Amino acid sequence: MAYAYLFKYIIIGDTGVEFGARMITIDGKQIKLQIWDTAGQESFRSITRSYYRGAAGALLVYDITRRDTFNHLTTWLEDARQHSNSNMVIMLIGNKSDLESRREVKKEEGEAFAREHGLIFMETSAKTASNVEEAFINTAKEIYEKIQEGVFDINNEANGIKIGPQHAATNASHAGNQGGQQAGGGCC
């Protein structure tokens, strides 16, 4: 499947969530998300730097039924800010919103943490897929806007963004159409 851009996302936090790659559409453009997840792995510390480098977006995930995962957010965030590209978009995710009866972290607490640290916030349930798509789309929208504003250098893959084949193809066909017979390398 052709795409206009590929965004690399990473998942950070104490709880691993399996998402895999997915395709979304923003502004009529196909965007492929490549999602890396090493959350919850003990050897994680040793690969942090290379893991953070080259990510356009990060989902900082905690489990609403486990207070300790919420308490560790500050450490994760400091880590992320220290090792990542300063333009990386970070979204705070309170996962397992389907387990309301076992909730240990109030939604307001998540909102407050996000506000304090300038993050986008959402509660999701990977199990019922509630809000998961929205979380990816909201993060991608912010990255896409930063591309439009010229904040991200999209020619530098260290930013976690690749221009896809679809994008390159449309540009080429435009160039061809504009000048009619220009393909031979010039006239007029």
Position 42 scores a pLDDT of 52
The 10s digit of each residue's pLDDT in 59-106 is 999 999 999 999 999 999 998 888 887 889 999 999 999 999 999 999
Position 86 scores a pLDDT of 82
The Cα 83–Cα 44 span in angstroms is 13
Convert 56-71 to b/e letters by CB count within 10 Å (16 or more is b): bbbbbbbbbbbeebbe
Position 170 scores a pLDDT of 53
Position 52 scores a pLDDT of 81
Position 183 scores a pLDDT of 45
Q: Which CATH architecture has domain 5-167?
A: 3-Layer(aba) Sandwich (3.40)
Dihedral of the alpha carbons of 97, 89, 149, 24, in degrees to the nearest 10? -50
Per domain, the residue ranges of the chain are: 5-167
Q: Kind of pairing, strands 22-26 and 5-13?
A: unpaired
Q: What is the mean pLDDT of the chain?
A: 82
Alpha-helical regions (H) of 118-188:
132-148, 165-178
Q: How would you classify residue 129: left for phi > 0, otherwise alpha for psi between -120 and 50, otherwise beta?
A: left
Query: For residue 144, which of 2, 32, 50 has the smallest C-alpha distance?
Result: 32
Q: Distance between alpha carbon 154 and the CA centroid of its chain, in Å?
A: 15
Say what the pTM is.
Answer: 0.79
Position 177 scores a pLDDT of 45
pLDDT < 70 regions, the chain:
1, 38-48, 166-188
**For residue 166, with 0-12 CB atoms within 10 Å meaning exposed, 13-18 middle and 19 or more buried, which class applies?**
middle
Tokens of 108: 């307001």
